[in-house]
Amino acid sequence: MTQTQDSAQQFATESRTFSWATPGQADLTRLLELDGLQQLQAMRDGELPHPPIMDTLGFTDLRPQPGRVVVEMPAAEFHYNPLGGVHGGVISTLLDTAAACAVHTTLAVGELYTSVDLTVKFLRPVTVDSGLLTCEGTVIQRGRRTALAQAQLSDGAGRLVAHATSTCLIMQAGS
C-alpha cells in the first residue's frame, strides 16, 4: 500500500444507472417533414427519441406548446457541486433546454437552429430540498434569422431560483 492510499479516507458512495436512446435512430425523412413543435411533441409522445441529456440529468417532463416549453427535473444529490448545492452547469442546462426548445417550437419545416449565447442569473441556492424544479422557456422575439428567448427556473415551492436569456440562430436545413 502506498502512503497516499494509507491516508485516503473511505467515503460512503451511492450509484446511479440510467439508459438512453442511442442517437441517430430517428427516421430523418420523417423528422424533416415535421415542424419544430411537431418534432418536440413526437419526442414527448415517444414516437421519436428524446436527447440523451434528458436521461443523463434526470428530466422527467417536457411539455411543448407554440413559443413555450416546460421542462421538469427533481433536484438530486448527483447534481451537486463540492459545496452541496445543485451545480450551476446543471441549472444552466435546464435553462438552456427550456429557452432553446421554446425557439424549437417556432421552427417551420426545413428550419434548424443553434444557440448563440446564454446569459444566466442564479437567484437562490438549489438543493434536494428544493424539490421538483420546473423550468419554463418562452420566445420573446422570433425573427427570420435570430430568436430571443428566456427561461425561468422555479423550485417546488414556486420560488424563482434562476433566470436566463438566450439568442438562437435560425438556419435552413442543407445551407
Q: What is the pLDDT of residue 1?
A: 44
Tell me the C-alpha distance between 171 and 9, whole Å: 53
Tell me the C-alpha distance between 87 and 156, whole Å: 17
List of the chain residues with pLDDT < 50: 1-2
Q: What is the DSSP string of 4-69?
A: HHHHPPP----------PPTT-S-HHHHHHS-HHHHHHHHHTTSSPPPHHHHHHT--EEEEETTEE
Q: What is the pLDDT of residue 5?
A: 55
- pTM value is 0.90
Which residue do the cell numbers 421538469 mark? 72
Q: What is the pLDDT of residue 84?
A: 95
Q: Are 62 and 50 in contact (CB under 8 A)?
A: yes
Tell me the C-alpha distance between 91 and 94, whole Å: 5
What tens digit of pLDDT does each residue of 41-77 get? 999 998 888 889 999 999 999 999 999 999 999 999 9
If you ran DSSP here, which 8-state letter would residue 175 be given? -
What tens digit of pLDDT does each residue of 135-146 get? 999 999 999 999
Q: What is the pLDDT of residue 32?
A: 80
* Cell numbers linked to 57: 440529468
Q: What is the pLDDT of residue 8?
A: 65
What share of the chain in percent tops pLDDT 70? Answer: 95
